[in-house]
Amino acid sequence: MPNLKDLKNRIESVKSTRKITKAMQMVAAAKLRRAQEAAEQSRPYAERFNAVMAGLAASVGGSDSAPRLLRGTGSEDVHLLVVMTAERGLCGGFNANIAKLARAKAEELRGKGKTVKILTVGKKGRDALKRDFGDLFVGHIDLSEVKRIGYANAQDVAKDILTRFDDGEFDVATIFYSKFQNVVTQIPTAQQIIPASFEETEDDDSGAVFDYEPSEEAILAELLPKGVATAIFSALLENGASEQGARMSAMDNATRNAGEMIDKLTIQFNRSRQAVITNELIEIISGAEAL
């Protein structure tokens, strides 16, 4: 059984830890509000952009004049997996769940005989996949110095991916991130960005007929690179909100666990102290009776 000094030191240590986790929870809550607002404000633009692009892509169809970003290379042999995670930990299963989804996709593709390449955005994703897929890494983008994600950061990531595509390094690119739903729930998501894939949505313009100038192909050639950057920017914002939500939830759990541990240690300390006092009384009474 630990002595009283050890128990007292351990109680003080856990109390210090509880102060830290409580502070981290409050910081995450403050950051979450901003990150959630940014993610939610970006969704209408991204959805409308995808709706317009879906209409353009449907009109062009599979013609040979369609931009290469839309029709692809004609092959699906080489896949680039862009794994986007946080630069920091202490956010529950946020990073691990994204890495798990990317790992499953990589194993599935390799099982089909495909070539897999991995580009990581965020330190934790690189660390999680380095052991099993380190030989598949082709690059890493460090955002640790970025205080607040902006569109320029997404453009840097998109530029790296588009340059690799133009150089013929891969045929299909898929991004992995976590979509924010609420503080408790973040959904690991895989989204193909090259060749561009757009889901047709019903909107007010579904029955309208448009006359494009210049041609649909020219417009798509101009907008598709922006579409890649938009998808990445939206994913980074979703990741930011998901990270803070996961960290807030994880620190709340850690704070409550620390409180429970303090209660248990305090009971153990009181019992041990009572046992010491009882033993001392027994010794005094025994000595008095002996005299």
51, 91, 161, 236: the active-site residue: 91
Measured between alpha carbons, how far apart are the two ends of the chain, in Å? Answer: 32
Active site residue 217: no
HEC profile of 46-86 = HHHHHHHHHHHHHHHCCCCCCCHHHHCCCCCCEEEEEEECC
Calpha distance 56→220 (Å, rounded): 7
In this structure, how many other beta carbons lie within 10 angstroms of the beta carbon of residue 139? Answer: 15
In this structure, how many other beta carbons lie within 10 angstroms of the beta carbon of residue 229? Answer: 21
Nearest Cα to Cα of residue 104 among 176, 201, 173, 44: 176
Write the Ramachandran bin of 113: left for phi over 0, alpha for psi from -120 to 50, otherwise beta: left
Q: Which residues form the catalytic set?
A: 91
